[in-house]
Amino acid sequence: MAGARAAIRYAKAVLGFAQDQNLADQVNDEMKLIAKTVSENKELQTALKSPVIKTEVKKRSLKEIFSGMSPVSEGLINILSENKRLEILGETAEKYIILYDQLKGKEVAVVTTAVPLTADLEKKVLAKVKELTGNKVTVENKIDESIIGGFILRIGDLQYNASIANKLNNLKRELSNNLYVSQLN
């Protein structure tokens, strides 16, 4: 959780600096590239988290991977390196994208389902989320069969979990607690 809070703080600082430099659009594109690259590359994630790999090696590698970036994005890599927080680079990039979209009056609603959303259901989700947020919303559907059924809706930092797996876990927890209480009596 501390990493998430730190990522938000770094993302806010980067967005503010990017706006001052009139580079917010370019930095948003770069943050999308960083977030995508980190999330899709398990070796990179492992390397960034590794206490064995020296921070300077991580920094040089990132500058090589993301060469040609704006000074703002390079500055993020530098400051995360100085503070030994390179493991939150991907998360910081994701938070930047969310903050940038909110600034532009757009939001992305991520709907995780066990099966792909139908076009009709996607329209209903869009309408409901637009009603709740008042912003332009796009829906991104992620498929995760482990949730069994139902859905998980995430808008920015808010999440509503109506998955079958979550309901089963809650029921299991409730039954365990009731068993424990009855054993005490």
* CATH at 43: 1.10.520.20
Looking at the fold, whether 69 and 129 belong to one and the same domain comes out as: no
- Confidence band of 181 (pLDDT split at 50, 70, 90): confident
Provide the pLDDT for residue 9: 96
pLDDT in tens, 10-43: 999 999 999 999 999 999 999 999 999 999 999 9
What's the structural domain count of the chain? 2
Looking at the fold, whether 92 and 115 belong to one and the same domain comes out as: no
pTM score: 0.68
- Confidence band of 185 (pLDDT split at 50, 70, 90): low
Mean pLDDT of the chain: 90
With contact defined as beta carbons under 8 Å apart, do 92 and 7 qualify? yes
Provide the pLDDT for residue 77: 96
* CATH at 114: 3.40.30
Closest to 73 in 3D by CA, of 92, 57, 98, 50: 92
Looking at the fold, whether 112 and 156 belong to one and the same domain comes out as: yes
Domain limits for position 37: 2-101
Q: Identify which has the larger pLDDT, 160 or 46.
A: 46
Q: Which residues pair with 137 in a beta bridge?
A: 107
